[in-house]
Amino acid sequence: MEKNENAPVPEGYVPHPRVYYYPGCSLMSTARDLGESLFQMARLVGSWLEELKDWNCCGASPAHSVNQNYAILLAGRNLVLAERQGIKDLFVICPSCFVRLRTAAKTLMADEDKNALLEEAVGKRYQGSVRLRFFLEVGSASQMNVFRQAVVNPLKGLKGVLYFGCLLTRPEWITGFDVLPYEDELRSFVESMGVETLDWGYGKQCCGAHLALTKPDHVDSLVDRIRDHARRVGANCMISFCPLCQVNMELRGKNSEPLPVFYVSELIGMACRLPRTEKWIRKHLVDPRKLLAEHNLL
Partner 1 sequence: MQVDRSFIREVEERSGQRFGACFHCMACSGGCPVSDIMDYLPNQIVRMMQLGMRREVLESRAIWVCVGCYSCVSQCPNRVHIPYMMDALRELALEEGVKIGEPDIWTFHREFLKQVDKRGRVYELEFMARYKLATLSLFNDMGSGMKMLFNGRLELLPHRVKKLQEIRKIREVCYGKK
Provide the binding-site residues for partner 1, judged by CB under 8 A.
Answer: 25-26, 28-33, 54-57, 59-70, 73-74, 77, 99, 117, 120-122, 166-167, 170-172, 204-206, 208-211, 213-216, 218, 221-222, 247, 251, 282-285
- Tell me how far, at minimum, the Cβ of 45 lies from partner 1, in Å: 26
- Tell me how far, at minimum, the Cβ of 224 lies from partner 1, in Å: 13
For residues 262 and 292, is the Cβ–Cβ distance under 8 A?
Answer: no
- Tell me how far, at minimum, the Cβ of 167 lies from partner 1, in Å: 7
Residues linked to residue 161 through DSSP beta bridges, in sequence order = 238
* Residue with Cβ nearer partner 1 (39 or 70): 70
- Tell me how far, at minimum, the Cβ of 268 lies from partner 1, in Å: 20
Q: How far apart are CA 172 and CA 126, in angstroms?
A: 23
Q: How far apart are CA 76 and CA 73, in angstroms?
A: 5
* Residue with Cβ nearer partner 1 (147 or 263): 263
For residues 261 and 250, is the Cβ–Cβ distance under 8 A?
Answer: yes
Q: Can you tell me whether residue 40 is helix, strand or coil?
A: helix
Nearest to 230 by CA among 253, 210, 213, 264: 253
Q: How far apart are CA 259 and CA 263, in angstroms?
A: 13
Q: How far apart are CA 171 and CA 88, in angstroms?
A: 24
Amino acid symbol at 228: D
Nearest to 198 by CA among 226, 169, 236, 151: 236
For residues 72 and 104, is the Cβ–Cβ distance under 8 A?
Answer: yes
- Tell me how far, at minimum, the Cβ of 142 lies from partner 1, in Å: 32
* Residue with Cβ nearer partner 1 (131 or 210): 210
* Residue with Cβ nearer partner 1 (172 or 191): 172
* Residue with Cβ nearer partner 1 (81 or 272): 81
Classify burial at 141, counting beta carbons within 10 Å of its beta carbon; exposed 0-12, middle 13-18, buried 19 or more: exposed
- Tell me how far, at minimum, the Cβ of 50 lies from partner 1, in Å: 16
* Residue with Cβ nearer partner 1 (47 or 68): 68
Q: How far apart are CA 292 and CA 278, in angstroms?
A: 11
* Residue with Cβ nearer partner 1 (225 or 231): 225
Residues linked to residue 270 through DSSP beta bridges, in sequence order = none
- Tell me how far, at minimum, the Cβ of 86 lies from partner 1, in Å: 18
* Residue with Cβ nearer partner 1 (55 or 200): 55
- Tell me how far, at minimum, the Cβ of 141 lies from partner 1, in Å: 28
